[in-house]
Amino acid sequence: MSDSIFITGAAGHLGGKVIEHLLSRGVSPGLIVAGSRDPAKLASVAARGIEVREADFDDLPGLTRSFAGAATVLIVSTDTLTPEGRRQRQHRNAVDAAVAAGARRLAYTSLPEPTASPLSFAADHVRTEEALAASGLPVILFRNGWYQENLFMGLPSALKSGHWCTAAADGKTSYAARDEIAEAIAVVLANPPAGGHTYTLTGSEAFSVPEIAALARNATGRPLEVVDVTDEQFVAGLGPAGLPDFLIPVLASMEVATRSGSLGIVTGDLAGLIGRTPKPLATFFAEQAGALSR
Ligand SMILES: NC(=O)c1ccc[n+]([C@@H]2O[C@H](COP(=O)([O-])OP(=O)(O)OC[C@H]3O[C@@H](n4cnc5c(N)ncnc54)[C@H](OP(=O)(O)O)[C@@H]3O)[C@@H](O)[C@H]2O)c1
C-alpha cells in the first residue's frame, strides 16, 4: 500500500466527497482507506472496494494502528467544538498517530489565515498547523473558506421571519461549494506536490449580508430585510432559539469574523485546482431556493 491515502472523517460530508472525487480522478479504490469512528457508516464505501478502518482521534493507540501503511493521511478537522481544548488534543493525536504509523505526508483541513481569525475556534486550527509543522513531514494545508451549505444554518429561519439580524455590517464572505472544495482536495491528493504546500480554497467572489439577502430574495421570491444589530443584540437575539450554550459564542464570533473581513478572503486556488470558475453563490441559490425556504 505504498501510495495509499487515508481519509479521516470519511463518513462526513467533506471526507465522503473527497473519496468520490479521488475515484472519479482514477485513483484505484485499493489505494484509498476510509476512516470513521463507526465503520458501519462506511458500508457503501466498502462496497466499492475501499478498505474501511475505525479512526477515532480520541484513541491514540487505536488511531496509530489504523494509520499503519498509509503514505498520506488527510486529517479532516473534527466537528468537536466543546469542551475547549478537546479538538486540539484530537488533532494532535491524529498528527502523532500518523507520524508513529510511518506516514510520509500529512494533509489537513484548516481555515483561511487562522492566526488572524476572530473565530472562536481558530486556535484549534493554529495549534494543529503548529503540530503539523513540528512533525517534520511534508504538510499540505487546505485552508477552506466558508461552505455555501453553511447558509442552511440561519437563512431558512430568516426567510420564515422575513428578517436577517446581523452584526456583520458590510463584511463579506467568499462562500464556496463544499463539493468543489472536496474536488480540489482530491485533485491535490491524487497528484501531490513533492513537498508541502498551502492552498486557500475560497469562492471567486465575496458577498456582504445585504448582497446575500438580495440573492435570497431573488431566488425564493420571499421578503427578507437585513436588520443591523450590535454584537450584544445579536447574542440576545439567539436566546429564544434554544441553542446549546457552547454554540452562542461560536455564532457570535462568526459575525465578528465576517465584519473583520477574514471570511471574505478570495484566492484563485480553488478555481486553479478544479480548472473552472467555482460555483457562483447565485447558482447555489438557484439550486437550493426550495430547500432554503421550506
Ligand atoms: N469551512 C466550513 O465552512 C466548515 C463548516 C463546517 C465544518 N467545517 C469543518 O470541516 C470539517 C469537515 O466538514 P464536513 O462538512 O464534512 O463535516 P461533517 O459532515 O459534520 O463531518 C465531521 C466529521 O468529523 C469526524 N469526527 C468527529 N469526531 C471525530 C473523532 N473523535 N475522531 C475522528 N473523526 C471525528 C466525523 O467522523 P465520524 O463521525 O464518522 O467518526 C465526521 O466525518 C468539519 O468537521 C469541521 O471541522 C468547515
* Closest atom of ligand 1 to CA, residue 145: 1
What are the pLDDT digits (tens) for 71-101? 999 999 999 999 999 999 999 999 999 999 9
What integer pLDDT is reported at residue 239 of this predicted model?
Answer: 84
Domain count of the chain? 1
Residue 239 lies in a domain: no
Angle, helix 209-220 to helix 281-292, in steps of 10 degrees: 60
Q: Which residue has the higher pLDDT, 171 or 242?
A: 171
pLDDT-above-90 percentage for the chain: 97
Q: Is residue 223 part of a domain?
A: no
Q: Residue 115: which residues within 8 A CB-CB, separation 6 or more? A: 122, 126
Distance CA(262)–CA(25), nearest Å, equals 32
Q: How confident is the model at residue 240 (pLDDT cuts 50, 70, 90)?
A: confident
- Please check whether residue 227 lies inside any domain of the structure: no
* Distance (Å, whole) CA 228 – CA 224: 13
Per the domain annotation, does 181 fall within a domain? yes
Q: Which residues line ligand 1 (CB under 6 A)?
A: 8-9, 11-15, 36-38, 41, 55-58, 76-80, 90, 109, 144, 146-147, 150, 178
Residue 160 lies in a domain: no
Reading the block at residue 135, the C-alpha cell is 512533525
Nearest CA to ligand 1 atom 24: 78
For 176-196, how does the pLDDT look when each residue is reduced to its tens digit (9 = 90+)?
999 999 999 999 999 999 999
Residue 1 has pLDDT above 70, yes or no: no
Rounded mean pLDDT of the chain?
Answer: 97
The CB-side HSE value for 233 (13 A sphere, CA atoms) comes to: 9
What radius of gyration, in Å, describes the C-alpha atoms of the chain? 19
Average pLDDT over residues 53-58: 98
Residue 163 lies in a domain: no
| Beta strands 172-173 and 207-208, pairing class | antiparallel
The range of the structural domain enclosing residue 181 comes to: 5-145+176-201
- Output the pLDDT for position 294: 87
Q: Extract the runs of DSSP E, i.e. beta strands, from the chain.
A: 5-7, 32-36, 51-54, 72-75, 105-110, 139-144, 163-166, 172-173, 197-201, 207-208, 225-228
What does the pLDDT average to over 24-41?
98
> Domain for residue 71, yes or no?
yes
Query: For 60-77, how does the pLDDT look when each residue is reduced to its tens digit (9 = 90+)?
Result: 999 999 999 999 999 999
Q: Is 261 a residue whose pLDDT tops 60?
A: yes
Task: Measure the CA–CA gap between 217 and 143, rounded to whole angstroms.
Answer: 30
What sign results for the dihedral spanned by CA atoms 35, 36, 39, 40?
A: negative
CATH number at residue 76: 3.40.50.720
- Atom index in ligand 1 nearest the CA of residue 37 equals 41
All three cell numbers of 230, joined, read: 450590535
What mean pLDDT do residues 124-144 have? 98
Distance of CA 173 to the CA centre of its chain: 14
Distance 78 CA to ligand 1 centre (A): 4
38 lies in a domain? yes
pLDDT at 2: 54
